[in-house]
Structure 1
Amino acid sequence: MASKKKRVVQLEEKMQADDVAADDEEGSSDMDDDDDSSDGEVNEEIQVEFEARTIEDSDFHGARALLQQLFLKAKIDLSEMANTIISQNYIGSVIKQIDIPDSDEEDDDMGEGDPVLGLITVINITEKQNVECVKQFRSMLMEKCQACSQQQKERLSQILTDADQQVGYLISERYINIPPQISVPMYESLFKEMEKCTRKKMKYEFGHYILISKCYRPKGSDQLFYTNAEEELISKEIEFSFTYSVASERDTVVDGKWDAEDQMEALRTVLVIPSENLQTAVANIKTALAAT
């Protein structure tokens, strides 16, 4: 197992106490609601600090859960994909909450079993195209692109089959309560790690990235909203994109409340990003967040 490292600037954020728990902990929420005899809302503010850590074997279930909220019922072996991510733990990070220990004892074990609140990494889907979960992912992309224009289908096929360029599947997932400010240091750390790997002749110099964004839109409207706010800025730096509905897959983790009320339609948008544009997009995110 790789040694534990902390490698992204910590982020402190004021959050509503009733919004800190991840939305997929529905069972815990329901139990808490049953125990709460008051109908009043909790408006207490608490200080929450996050940090990024090296991906470890113990993060398997957390990483898989984040992939599950993205892919839902897609026919992709998410266990194999989570293991693939862990096997290349020199690339990417997981987001965890910083805990203040009650004592100095067992400091070396801090973080063991901590929930994974977010994940960023990239998988080379050219080099790993014979890995079963990557085969499934590539097939899913072409299947979902069937409704695209002929030009988009041909271009996606060309990108995926071009042996002279590497394609990176960019995974940037987190629970909806984690603020977008954390995305900038996460991306910056990822860039540095890819540069380091490239200097070692590893295949992390990509021609294109593919990012799947969780989105939603009001039913009957063409207006598209991104669950991860920074991805709207990334979407302005793409070569092309296509969107497909996952409303029938009961996306309760992120968009379920709106979908259940027949107000919003849960979607996924595939962003095809030229590699040189991604750093521009992250610089724009940094500027935009600084202005807010």
Structure 2
Amino acid sequence: MASSKKKRAKTEIEENNEMIDDDPVSDDGGSGEELMDQEMEVEFEARIPQDSDFHGIKTLLKQLFLKANINLSELANTIISQNYVGNVIKQLNDVDDDSEDDFDDGDPVFGVMTVVNLTERKKDLECVKEIISYLVDKCRTSNLGEDGNKIIDIVNSENVQVGFLISERFLNIPIEIAAPSYESLRKDMMKAVNKKMKYDFGYYILISKSYRAKMEASGDGGNKLGNQLFYSNPEDEILSELSDIKVSYSVAADRDDVVSGSWDDEDSMEAMRTVMVFTADKYDSIIQTLKSQLGQT
């Protein structure tokens, strides 16, 4: 692969860091707890996935699928093998853009954005068969009703190409990266279609990390869940509003501990996954809506 190729997506992060002194009385006689507003400028770039990104990509897939019976190693290798579509997000290094040496194999992967053809790749990839089985099982066992049945029909269809969108990143990567990532992926898919590759999808499916608040028990001894969904990736709320089908199910039993970068409190929030399906003709609308709401041009 041409390892020097980059797809740029820069952004800045503002962080509020709460500093708590171990001593209950600070040196200046204060309370020992002070809030510091620290502004940090961090630049990210979207790069073509390469072999050295395997473990970083697999970690991101793990935070999505948790204990699901899916061969994440095979899925990570698939993402790398189809590196002409999609990207990984890494921190921008202060080096010469034209240098072949500006890709540090030790660079952590902060995010991954790609699409896998479920319809075609289920013929030769076990991990894709497992993703389809996972979706079918959740739709059948989680009381997802008619919408669940529609998802089952779509993922099992042979008459339409179904793209499985993977949009994963760590929590501290800001939403401003979302629109450039979706737009870059769109351009990659168009180039692939022009080369007679099968990336002309009829449907897209996305599994989103989501949460619902636990409510007080109502006499039956169990927890009720609130109706409002919260999303780890804020842009997924926009996608949910534009999606044709949306179903959610709990994954609380699949979590041994809090996934790195997660913000939920297990005592007050229940971990969910939300499956969204939208027709391909809405993809451009999603990009424009993200840009509009984020003030991007």
Same fold (TM over 0.5): yes
Question: Which is higher, the Rg of structure 1 or of structure 2?
Answer: 2
Q: Is the 8 A contact 1:230 1:285 kept in 2?
A: yes
Give 1:14 shift: 3.0
Distance 1:149 1:116, change over 3 A: closer
Distance, in Å, in 1 between the alignment partners of 2:290 and 2:158 is 32
The match for 1:116 is: 109
Q: Stretches of 4+ moved more than 6 A in 1? A: none
The equivalent of 2:6 in structure 1 is 6
Deviation at 1:254, TM superposition (A): 5.9
Using the TM superposition, name which of 251-260 and 92-101 deviates more. 251-260
Structure 1, unaligned runs of 5 or more:
20-32
2:207–2:275 CA contact under 8 A, matched in 1: yes
- Note the C-alpha offset of 1:150: 4.5
Which of 201, 205, 210 is residue 215 of structure 1 equivalent to?
A: 210
Q: How big is the shift at 1:242?
A: 1.0
Distance 2:283 2:74 in 1: 27
Q: TM-score, normalised by structure 2?
A: 0.84
Does the 8 A contact of 1:2 with 1:56 survive in 2?
no
- Give 1:253's match in structure 2, choosing from 253, 259, 268: 259
1:218 is displaced (CA, Å) by 1.0
Amino acid aligned to 1:236: E
- Structure 2: which 5+ residue stretches go unaligned? 27-31, 216-225
CA contact (8 A) 2:11 2:177 kept: no
**1:156-171 maps to which residues of 2 (within 5 A)?**
156-171=151-166
Shift of 1:222: 1.1
CA shift for structure 1 position 176: 0.7
Quote the residue 1:24 is aligned against: none
Aligned-pair distance for 1:163? 1.5
Note if 1:244 corresponds to 2:249: yes
- Cα 1:258–1:191 shift into 2, 3 Å: closer
Are the counterparts in 2 of residues 216 and 255 from structure 1 also a CA contact under 8 Å? no
TM-score between both structures, scaled by the size of structure 1: 0.85
Query: 1:1-292, aligned counterparts within 5 Å?
Result: 1-8=1-8, 10-16=9-15, 43-101=37-95, 107-112=99-104, 113-130=106-123, 131-146=125-140, 147-220=142-215, 221-250=226-255, 252-253=258-259, 258-260=264-266, 262-290=267-295
User: 1:148-200 CA deviation, whole Å, 9 max, x = no partner?
Assistant: 45432432232122222100000001111111111111111111110111011
Which moves more between the two structures, 107-116 or 37-46? 37-46
Change (3 A) 1:257 1:235: closer
How many Å separate the matches in 2 of 1:44 and 1:83?
38
Q: CA deviation at 1:63?
A: 0.5
Two-structure CA RMSD over aligned residues (Å) = 2.4
Count of paired positions: 270
Work out the CA distance in 1 between the residues paired with 2:101 and 2:260: 31
Per-residue deviation at 1:229?
0.7
